[in-house]
Amino acid sequence: MKNNIENLTIIETAILKINSKININIPKIIEVTEKELKAMKIINEHDIIGVYNTPNKTIYLVIGEYAEKTVIHEIGHYIHDVYFNNKEIRFNSIGKSRRAEKNCYENFAECFLQFINGRWADLKRVEKMNELLKGLKLSN
């Protein structure tokens, strides 16, 4: 097996990026077809390329459709669920994406994505995520 960055999968690259900032236990991640994802009936939206399933703590990604940011975003949902019990956490709205406007779950996952990617459009927004994560023991 080569240790060449070019040979890393999108999932592995996302996990490396996350672990460069915080050390967490990674949830189960499964690649599925779009048809399989829709058949699971865990989503009710169209054009979804990734979803975190709260009951079984698993991330499902549509084969060939997802990107690194999708993986990071879905792991953000996992962290919100497992470490914060999906409670509403308010972040500064400056630098907030359209997706983050949807609800507190999307807001958390999008802020986590901004934190991991270093896109600190609003320093207060991402600093709050940094403070939240710093106070947790995220892995065994």
**Distant-in-sequence, close-in-space partners of 96: CB < 8 Å, separation ≥ 6:** 107, 110, 111, 122, 125
Q: Is the dihedral of CA 21, 27, 31, 34 positive or negative?
A: negative
CB distance 25 to 140 below 8 Å:
yes
- Would you state the pLDDT for residue 66? 87
DSSP per-residue string spanning 54-117: TTTTEEEEETTT--HHHHHHHHHHHHHHHHHTT------STT--TGGGS-HHHHHHHHHHHHHH
Tell me the per-residue pLDDT of 8-57, one tens digit each, with 9 for 90 and over.
689 999 999 998 888 888 899 999 988 888 888 776 666 688 999 999 99
- Would you state the pLDDT for residue 136? 73
- Would you state the pLDDT for residue 82? 94
What's the mean pLDDT when you consider all of the chain? Answer: 85
Read off the pLDDT band of 5 (50, 70, 90).
very low
What Å distances lie between residue 121 and 7, 14, 32, 92, CA to CA?
A: 31, 20, 33, 11
**Rg, Å, the chain Cα set:** 15
Work out the burial of residue 126: count CB atoms within 10 Å of its CB; fewer than 13 is exposed, 13-18 middle, 19 or more buried: buried
Read off the pLDDT band of 60 (50, 70, 90).
very high
CB distance 125 to 96 below 8 Å:
yes
Tell me the per-residue pLDDT of 64-73, one tens digit each, with 9 for 90 and over.
888 899 999 9
CB distance 77 to 22 below 8 Å:
no
